[in-house]
Amino acid sequence: MSKTALLFAGQGAQTVGMGKDFAGQFPAARELFGRADSALGYPLSHLCFEGPEAELTRTENAQPAIFLMGWVAFELLRQEVHGLRFEATAGLSLGEFTALAAAGAMSFEDGLRITRLRGRFMQEACEATRGSMAAIINLDEGPTRDVCAEAGVELANLNCPGQLVISGEATAIAKACELAKARGAKRALPLAVAGAYHSRLMGSAQAKLAAELSGATVISPSVTVVSNVTARPHEDPTSIKDLLVQQVCAPVRWEASIRWLLEQGYTRFIELGPGRALAGFMKRIAPEVLTLSVGDVPTLQAAVAVLQTR
């Protein structure tokens, strides 16, 4: 029998209108959006459905919104595919919180609350610094690390072969982009982000998140959950909290996380949440495996049709 891993989207996947068709067609989705609004004390569902885009994109809104979308997609898939089995979860940066919630390590409400605060803390760190990020296309990890060392920036995301992301002070990122192109990168593209995520410039957010997580209820997950920091399974609740704090400044080792799952025999991956970025990474990492995406009603229906026959 094939082993299934659920993958949860990260920040940047948000788009105005996400979840609206779920809420229109499924009472369970409407209930979850209502629970989210009540838990947070403001109409997050309206931002998801109607925007405005500038407000939805704000880190303190985008993070709980993407957590919520991943959770709604997860619950609807379980509702539509009776007896859905999965043996592991993983999430890209922010998505790691949804992955932990899906594995029973934290509650839906706590996940919403903590991702809202995480987003706020990171927004504050962005406003206090002059950070930026850039995607480095088709330059190997070694030369990219050399560029980072020379420019004084950090490697933030190791997403898949041919796509790395660097993070740091804005003028240093501009220098790094020029160095990367001189070293053979096909492209070095500054990203439209608020600051330098997964770098030392997020240090103030890291300290605040640690304080919030110290009082949060986290238990051991019921299935394997792969950590972004270690690219290995989470263990006990204390180390889960520690790694979530480290993750704010540490690089996201996504390709290594997926390769670990492949080594364990996983052959079926289901992306949950808005967008299809993770499916795109999977095509570069392991195009031979089955990868499904669930982010709206049509993709949910398509995934259900496949899963009911396999």
Active site residues: 93, 198
Give the long-range contacts of residues 141-144, CB within 8 A, separation 24 or more: 143/180, 143/183, 143/184, 144/180, 144/185
DSSP codes joined into one string, the chain: --EEEEEE--TT---TTTTHHHHHH-HHHHHHHHHHHHHHTS-HHHHHHH--HHHHHSHHHHHHHHHHHHHHHHHHHHHHSTT---SEEEESTTHHHHHHHHTTSS-HHHHHHHHHHHHHHHHHHHHHS-EEEEEEES--HHHHHHHHHHHT-EEEEEEETTEEEEEEEHHHHHHHHHHHHHTT-SEEEE---SS-TTSGGGHHHHHHHHHHHHTS-----SSEEB-TTTSSB--SHHHHHHHHHHHTTS-B-HHHHHHHHHHTTEEEEEEESSSSHHHHHHHHH-TTSEEEEESSHHHHHHHHHHHTT-
Q: Are 63 and 94 in contact (CB under 8 A)?
A: yes
How far is 261 from 23, CA to CA, in rounded Å?
33
Tokens describing residue 185: 């990168």
- The rounded Cα 174 to chain-centroid distance in angstroms is 25
φ and ψ of 225, to 5 deg: -125, 120
Tokens describing residue 222: 């019921």
